[in-house]
Structure 1
Amino acid sequence: MGEIYHERQRLELCAVHALNNLLQRAEYSQAGAEEICRGLSPNSVINPHRSFLGTGNYDVNVIMAALQTLDYAAVWWDKRRSLESLALSEIFGFILNIPSPISLGFLSLPITRKHWIAVRQINGIYYNLDSKLKSPARLGGPRELKDFLQCCIARGSCEILLVVTKEVDEARLWIVEDQAT
């Protein structure tokens, strides 16, 4: 098996790392994300799509715009639906926004912040490509992926974006429609 591309966390660039880890290449940089922010709010003194400190902390709009430049779409997953209705063969990958503990060195604080992570199938195996991990975490097959996603949902404050091609999005091929509808 070839090497899995995995960027590690730097500053508040988890959105950039999640995009690059999902794509398995260094497609975006902080400068590229900043350019997207300026395009989203060209006349803003303080850009609402990132940290006012300029250290990152990009919002979902930056991720969605970045994916669109590569002919991908981000579909917001309705967590009320069963994960069994996902058409995994049509989904390129996942970007999740999850709560992440804040720590100062070895001291873990009792508060959390939102953190972007990528999950993707590589060589037939799903991996958690979280930039806070030392290396990609092997999840396994479709059942283990769904268990991981369900666990993230159960912890609360989790959002899931399905990353699909524009064609898959337009035809809604990412979901197995309910028989009752």
Structure 2
Amino acid sequence: MTEAVFHERQRLELCAVHALNNLLQSHVFSQQHAEEICRGLAPDSRFNPHRSVLGTGNYDVNVIMAALQTLDYAAVWWDKRRSLESLVLSEIFGFILNIPSRISLGFLSLPITRKHWIAVQQIHGIYYNLDSKLKAPVKLGGPKELREFLQECISQGSCEVLLVVRKDVEEAKLWISNEERVP
């Protein structure tokens, strides 16, 4: 019997919230939580720079990082010049990627792209693409397929990769192989 994989679907511009929840495999964060984080990041701002002016979401990386910190996780920016082989996958909780995504209106796909947050997580030994725009999670496979997926995303240009790790793993830099660690 296969265990169910938690997967929130896209609503408004809440892909950052969905990516966090999909990564955590539970409904931990809401739009209200993200709004509270935004206010905390820019308490004196008339227009909060960490979200859409319209209040529909579109949260930036600072909101994601602050949300993860509340759970004793850290987000580490991946240096795309490094080899993905140097990742110590056993020390990485999951991945959040910021990828280009086509805008669509119903069935009509526009020739415009915007940035979109997605989560990639290992569940029961298998890595999944948990993009909230997908109808269901997409099975990637094992470490080899994960690295191929990440490389494909990176090679498409405008993609950022965040490694989500426990704070102690970040501090000790355990997420990267010994040869790659800078003293």
Taking structure 2 as the reference length, the TM-score comes to 0.97
Q: Which 5+ residue runs of structure 2 have no aligned equivalent?
A: none
Q: Secondary structure at the match of 2:99?
A: strand
Is this contact kept in 1: 2:86–2:180, CA < 8 A? no
Match in the other structure for 1:60: 61
| Pairs within 5 Å for 1:31-180 | 31-178=32-179
Q: Distance in 1 between matches of 2:110 and 2:9?
A: 21
- Using structure 1 for the length normalisation, give the TM-score: 0.98
Question: Structure 2 vs 1, CA of residues 3 and 180 (structure 1 numbering), >3 Å: closer, same or farther?
Answer: closer
Equivalence for 2:19: 18
Output the CA distance in 2 between the equivalents of 1:112 and 1:64: 24
User: Is the contact between residue 173 and residue 181 of structure 2 (CA under 8 Å) also seen in structure 1?
Assistant: no
- Taking the aligned partners of 1:160 and 1:180, their CA distance within structure 2 comes to 18
Q: CA deviation at 1:178?
A: 2.6
The structure 1 segments of at least 4 consecutive aligned residues displaced by more than 3 Å after TM superposition are none
What are the superposed Cα offsets for residues 118-156 of structure 1, whole Å, 9 maximum, x if unpaired?
000000000000000001000000000000000000111
* Structure 1 unaligned regions, length at least 5: none
Paired with 1:104 and 1:137, the residues of 2 have a C-alpha distance of 23
Amino acid at match of 2:29: Y
CA distance in 1 between counterparts of 2:180 and 2:43 reads 45
Secondary structure of 1:126's match?
Answer: strand
State the distance in 2 between where 1:91 and 1:153 align: 18
Residues paired across the two proteins, number: 181
Q: Counterparts of 2:144 and 2:31 in 1: how far apart (Å)?
A: 35
